[in-house]
């Protein structure tokens, strides 16, 4: 069972932001910027190539909600949505996942990842802000 499937099963902890029948969103523990959120389908799908249409629609619907909430919660100037498939594309966890990364013009991460271990308390604060913005 992959690490994300263990999070879905409740075997590993996560700071959840959103959950429905088909998707789960939680905070990245190595955020590029505050508010960096991960979205996954609950069903194990390794890459986008194996994603069925129904699950894909659910993921996209949740993605749209999350992007709006992350932008509002962080007051960022933009949002990067990143999804990689296979080792050559730098997919590290073999479970489809989408990074939602708040961006600022001067964050100096435009050319790549500058992830670093996050402060768990700050991650929880960002999750609360995003959750509060999901309904608006």
Assess whether 97 carries a catalytic annotation: yes
Indicate which CATH number applies to the domain containing 15: 3.30.428.10
pLDDT bucket at 111, cuts 50 / 70 / 90: low
Q: Is 25 inside any structural domain? A: yes
Reported pTM: 0.86
Please tell me the total count of domains within the chain.
1
Output the pLDDT for position 105.
86
- From the candidates 36, 82, 95, 97, give the one annotated as an active-site residue: 97
Distance between CA atoms of residues 85 and 104, nearest Å: 26
Q: Is 76 inside any structural domain? A: yes
User: Are 130 and 69 within 8 A, CB to CB?
Assistant: yes
Q: Is 24 inside any structural domain? A: yes
Average pLDDT value for the chain: 92
pLDDT bucket at 134, cuts 50 / 70 / 90: confident
User: Are 100 and 23 within 8 A, CB to CB?
Assistant: no
Q: Is 113 inside any structural domain? A: yes
Q: Of 40, 37, 97, 98, nearest to 71 (Cα)?
A: 37
Q: Is 23 inside any structural domain? A: yes
Instruction: Write the CA distances from 53 to 47, 77, 94, 101, integer angstroms.
Output: 13, 31, 19, 25
Q: Is 78 inside any structural domain? A: yes
Q: Is 135 inside any structural domain? A: no
Q: Is 38 inside any structural domain? A: yes
Domain that holds residue 44: 3-130
């Amino acid at each position: 069972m992959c690490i994300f499937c263990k999070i879905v099963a409740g075997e590993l902890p996560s700071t959840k932001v959103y959950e429905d029948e088909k998707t789960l969103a939680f905070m990245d523990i190595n955020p590029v910027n505050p508010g960096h959120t991960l979205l996954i389908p609950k069903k194990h799908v390794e890459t986008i190539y194996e994603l069925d249409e129904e699950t894909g629609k659910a993921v996209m619907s949740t993605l749209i909600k999350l992007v709006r909430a992350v932008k509002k919660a962080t007051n960022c100037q933009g949002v990067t949505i990143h999804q990689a498939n296979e080792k050559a594309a730098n997919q590290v966890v073999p479970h489809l996942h989408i990074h939602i990364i708040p961006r600022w013009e001067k964050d100096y991460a435009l050319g790549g990842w500058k992830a670093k271990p996050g402060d768990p308390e700050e991650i929880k604060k960002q999750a609360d802000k995003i959750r509060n913005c999901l309904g608006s």
